[in-house]
Structure 1
C-alpha cells in the first residue's frame, strides 16, 4: 500500500509516494537525473516496504508529477535542494525514527554529497553512482560521433541562452545510438528505456531532458565529498558499467571511512536485472543494520 503525498522545496511542490512502514526506518529515494519516481524506484521501494521500511519516493522539481517550470530542466543544485527538503519531510512521517537515502546514476552521486552534510541521515546507498562527471564524460565521448558531440554542445549553449531569454527548453533524448544527439550514447544507457519501463509500463515518463541541464552534470564531481561522509555508505558498483564507471566509485569508496562495497557483474542497470536479488538482499541487510531501532524489553 502506498499513498500520494507532497512536500515543498524552495516554494515548489514535489510529488511523492509514501509507503508506510513498521520498523522505524525510512528510505528516501528518487529516480535518475531525469528518471521519474515510478520507473526509477518501484521495484526497490516495494521490496523495502515489504521488509517493514517506510519509503518516500519523490520526483525532482520540473519532472513527473512534481510542479516547477520550465519542464524537464534538471539543475544539480536544485535537485540537491529537493533532496534536503525530502529528507526533512521524511522525518515528519508517522513512526519514522531514522532516515536513509538511496539513488542511482547521477543522483547516486548526490547521495555521496548529502551524506557529508549535517542532515541527520543514518545510512546512504549509492547505486551505479556517477561520482566524477568529467571522467565519466570523457569515457562516454568514446561512444559519440564528433558531429553529434558538437551538436549536443551547441544545443546546450543555445538552450542556456534561451533560458536567459525565457524561451522553452530545447530537449535532448536521455539515450540514443552513436551518431544521435542524446545525453548518453553508451551501450548500457541505450538499454535504460526497456529495463526501467518494460513494455512501456510507465508511458507518462518523458525520456528527455533540457539541453541546458547537460553542462552542470558534466562538471559535477561528488567524489570530493566522500572523505567527509557522516554516515555509512553502501556503494553498489557494476563492474561493466559504461555510463557511470566502476573505477571512480571504487576510488571514492576507498576514501569513505564507513564504506561498504558490493561489486556485481554486469552493466549500469544490472541491479535492476541480473544482479537484482543479490543487490536487494545486500541493501536490505545494510538498511536493517543501520536503520532498525532495537528496543530492549522493559523490566516488569
Structure 2
C-alpha cells in the first residue's frame, strides 16, 4: 500500500505495556489521534480516514489498544473500558510530543465503541482541542435492548452464559473465551444486527487485512452492554463533532443525538445508512464533514462554501433510534 511510504511505526507506554501506533507526519502542526472500534485493529479501523486527514496536512497517530493488534498486553482480545480510556490518555500525551505537532492542536477521533469513548475522552483531557465521535456507542443498555430484536432468545442466552463463564474464568487466570465480532441471528456473536454483519465487507474489503482477528473475549459483550459514555457529553471540554447514521441498528443514532444535545460545544452531522456507512457509501460526506470540523477548530480555517456534509444547526434535533 502507498501509505506504507508515508507513515512510521511508533510505540508508547500505557499501563505497564506498550501500545503500537502508526504515525503519519503532517505539515500543518495539528494532529489527529485515532483508535478503531471495539475488537478492530488500527489498520482496518482507521486507514481510510487517516489517509485523508494526512493528505490534508494533518499528522495522525492511529493506535491499537492494549491486548489488540500489535500492542502489548495479555491475555489477548479483552476489551477493558478503563484500560482503553487509559490508552487514550497515553496516546494523546504521545501525540503532543511528535515532531512538528503543536500540543495545543491535538484532536481525538473514534468510531463505534471508540466513538463512545470519545465522550469520556473529551471530558477528561483538558488540553484536547477537538474530538470526533463517529457512529458512537453512546448508550450500551439501549443498544443492547434494541439488538435483541435481531437475536434469538437462545442465541442471547448462550452469549450471556459464555460472557459470564469468561468473566469468571478471568478471575482465576483462565484463557479468554472468544466470540466472533458479528454473526447471523442465533449465533453466539457480539453483533447480530443487519448492519453489524457488514463490518468485514466495510473494513476488510477483499481480505485486505488478513491478520485482523475478528474475535473478542465474551466478557467484553457484558461490559459494553452496561457502558453509557454519552452521559459524560455534558462535561466535554472541547468542540465535539458527532456523526450519526440514521439507519444505524448497532450503536443507534438516538442516544448519540441526545449526547450531542447535552454537550456544550457540539456539532451534529446526520448521514444515511447503517453503522458502517462512513466506510462505504457515506465515506465522502463523512470525511468532508470531519475535515471541515478539524480545519475550523485546529487550524482556524473556514472551508470553501459547499464543502462538507450538512451540519444540524439545532443540536436538540432528535434521530429516531
Q: Once the two structures are superposed, what CA deviation does each residue of 1:234-272 show, in whole Å capped at 9, x if it has no partner?
A: 000100000011111111111111111110111111111
SS of the counterpart of 2:201? helix
**Distance (Å, rounded) in 2 between the aligned partners of 1:118 and 1:192:** 30
- Tell me if structure 1 keeps the 8 A contact 2:143–2:250: yes
Per the TM alignment, residue 118 of structure 1 is displaced from its structure 2 partner at its CA by 3.5
Per the TM alignment, residue 293 of structure 1 is displaced from its structure 2 partner at its CA by 6.2
- Paired position in structure 2 for 1:205: 212
SS of the counterpart of 1:175? coil
**Distance (Å, rounded) in 2 between the aligned partners of 1:256 and 1:62:** 31
- Paired position in structure 2 for 1:36: 41
Per the TM alignment, residue 119 of structure 1 is displaced from its structure 2 partner at its CA by 3.5
- Tell me if structure 2 keeps the 8 A contact 1:24–1:293: no
For normalisation by structure 2, the TM-score amounts to: 0.90
1:87 counterpart (83, 92, 105):
92
Matches within 5 A, 1:258-273: 258-273=265-280
The answer to whether residue 115 in structure 2 is matched with residue 108 in structure 1 is yes
Structure 1 stretches lacking a partner, 5+ long? 295-300
- Paired position in structure 1 for 2:230: 223
**Distance (Å, rounded) in 1 between the aligned partners of 2:289 and 2:188:** 37
Q: How many residues align?
A: 294
2:134 counterpart (127, 131, 134):
127
Q: Which runs of 4+ in 1 moved over 3 A?
A: none
- The higher-RCO structure (CA 8 Å, 6+ apart) is 1
- Paired position in structure 2 for 1:278: 285
2:192 counterpart (185, 198, 208):
185
Matches within 5 A, 1:167-178: 167-178=174-185
**Distance (Å, rounded) in 1 between the aligned partners of 2:167 and 2:229:** 23
Per the TM alignment, residue 228 of structure 1 is displaced from its structure 2 partner at its CA by 1.0
Q: Once the two structures are superposed, what CA deviation does each residue of 1:132-176 show, in whole Å capped at 9, x if it has no partner?
A: 010010001111101111110110111111111111100000000
Structure 2 stretches lacking a partner, 5+ long? 1-5, 302-321
Matches within 5 A, 1:134-149: 134-149=141-156
**Distance (Å, rounded) in 1 between the aligned partners of 2:294 and 2:45:** 19
2:166 counterpart (140, 159, 166):
159
SS of the counterpart of 2:159? helix
